[in-house]
Structure 1
Amino acid sequence: MTQIAVRDESDRRRLMALIQSRKPPFTASLSKGAPRSLKQNRLQRLWMNEAEEQGDQSAEEYRAFCKLHFGVPILRAAHEDFREQYDRVVRPLEYEMKLLLMQVPIDFPVTRLMTVPEKRQYLDDVYQHFTGLGMGLTEPDWAGRELA
């Protein structure tokens, strides 16, 4: 499956060329919004490492906690298909099992499914949570965190 984030006119031309080059039959779908940005991903990783240095869990354990407590509610509210699948497969599981599912090696997809605005909300929630616990996190570039 090919996925192209169209952020500018050059991306749009590349997508149009790809569609024109394909011979039917094929399936195409479009969704509103661009996927999370690399800057957002780097900021999330930085914060998980900073939390590990100050807390009592590994960065991966903190990442799993954040995916489950902040990411899943964002996606459940925004995407009916995610909500239906999550509620059918994951929601009935015990809490500890859900946390394990969020971690490597299974790494249940949550933040990688987010658009830029969804990831911005997720980062806001993560920042509020950890700083509310008294942890010091690198101050984000609030204006730049939604750039690609």
Structure 2
Amino acid sequence: MPEQLDVVDDFYIEMVRPLDNLVIIFAQAEAALVEMIIDLTNVDESVAQRMIKSKEEVLQLINRVDLECFDRTELPLRIEQFWCDRDLRNRYIHDEWFPQIDEGGAPATRGLPLKKGAEVVWNTPIPDDVWALARRFNDHRDHFSHIVYSRQRMKSSDSLPDA
């Protein structure tokens, strides 16, 4: 097997592992969100994938379905946090990375405005920030999965004959 080239500049080496984890954990959290929507609505995966494009649509869905008391209050907050975290994750993934020459080459990002009149978004992430974001996505994944698990468990216990 040919030797793999290391194409990441030395400035970014300390960010590679946390960003790798962020990519994987985010994908798992988003998949858990899709599974939760499928469970709550009985739609197919392609419809659920379209639904997660809109935070408002997901929040409206949550308000229409029957959830346990704790989930009814916690889940909308979780969805709001997921979208905030997703915005930050998108910045880390899609913004331009560059070394700060006057800061010893510490990595920084520059995000071009996505809307007319918006400002350039500057950030100086450190590995701990990216690890913390990955941990939050891990928590989101676990929460969405728990809702599906709890609902399926409740459905299966409801279908058991009374003794």
TM over 0.5: no
- Structure with max Cα Rg: 2
TM tier relative to shorter chain:
0.3 to 0.5
Greater percentage in helix:
2
Which one has a larger percent strand, Structure 1 or Structure 2?
2
TM-score by length of 2: 0.33
Q: TM-score, normalised by structure 1?
A: 0.35
